[in-house]
Amino acid sequence: GAVVSQHPSWVICKSGTSVKIECRSLDFQATTMFWYRQFPKQSLMLMATSNEGSKATYEQGVEKDKFLINHASLTLSTLTVTSAHPEDSSFYICSARGWGQGADTQYFGPGTRLTVL
């Protein structure tokens, strides 16, 4: 239980374009989803908390106009990186809060590797 998927698993785009990443909870409903980014050999950094039907809460230093988050349903949240630049290249991981594996906690998707040329 508590399976989270992400699409795409990897994407390469040109500088200045926008990229949308989808995060889905497959077997549970998630009122709260989270978006993290992870640079190579580093830990996960929380970017924003996404609540279904309301605006996302962004962490300090994360530009909300650059990283657009939409949580339109209880099973889907999207992250759009607008006007992407090479410094936005990273591993983006979402998580969803739900019950599974005997715990009410955050379960993570497989991640999306973004490379901006």
Partner 1 sequence: GESVGLHLPTLSVQEGDNSIINCAYSNSASDYFIWYKQESGKGPQFIIDIRSNMDKRQGQRVTVLLNKTVKHLSLQIAATQPGDSAVYFCAVGAGGYNKLIFGAGTRLAVHP
**35/52 Cα distance (integer angstroms):** 14
Strand partners of residue 78: 22, 70
Tell me: does residue 20 bind partner 1 (CB under 8 A).
Answer: no
Question: Tokens at residue 11, please?
Answer: 């994407």
Strand partners of residue 45: 37
**45/59 Cα distance (integer angstroms):** 9
Q: In this chain, which stretch among 14-22, 42-50, 68-76, 80-88 interacts with partner 1, using CB under 8 A?
A: 42-50
Tell me: does residue 117 bind partner 1 (CB under 8 A).
Answer: no
Tell me: does residue 105 bind partner 1 (CB under 8 A).
Answer: yes
Tell me: does residue 29 bind partner 1 (CB under 8 A).
Answer: no
Binding site for partner 1 (CB under 8 A): 2, 4, 6, 32, 34, 42-46, 49, 93, 95, 97, 100-101, 103-111, 113
